[in-house]
Amino acid sequence: MPCMWDLIETAPFFRSLELAVLDEDGMHPLVFPCQKTLAGWKHAITGLLVDINPTHWRHWGEQDEA
């Protein structure tokens, strides 16, 4: 069963999350985990800030299984 996406407004802080952006072509998941911090979104592995405006999230590791 596929894991559903949650709206970005409900994303928890300091957790590894899979983020997605929504545009005219549909939803596009990022290929690396991110964390919501007080400074903004950070790459969960490198710790670097990422300049993104995600629309949806789910816990990292909950990707759809084929």
Tell me the pTM: 0.85
Residue 42, domain member (yes or no): yes
Integer Cα distance of 3 and 43 in angstroms: 22
C-alpha to C-alpha distance for 43 and 1, rounded to whole angstroms: 27
In a domain, 29, yes or no: yes
- What are the tens digits of pLDDT across the range 17-49? 999 998 899 989 999 999 999 999 999 999 999
Does some domain include residue 55?
A: yes
Q: What pLDDT score does 2 carry?
A: 59
The residue with tokens 């710790």 is: 47
Question: Is 1 inside any structural domain?
Answer: no
User: Does residue 65 lie within any of the structural domains?
Assistant: no
Say how many domains are in the chain.
Answer: 1
Confidence of residue 8 (pLDDT cuts 50, 70, 90): very high
10, part of any domain: yes
Which structural domain, as residue segments, surrounds residue 41? 6-59
Window from 8-12, 39-43, 62-66 with minimum mean pLDDT: 62-66
Confirm whether 14 is domain-assigned. yes
Report H helices in the chain. Answer: none
Residue 66 has pLDDT above 70, yes or no: no
Q: Does the pLDDT value for residue 57 go beyond 80?
A: yes
- 25 within a domain of the structure (yes/no): yes
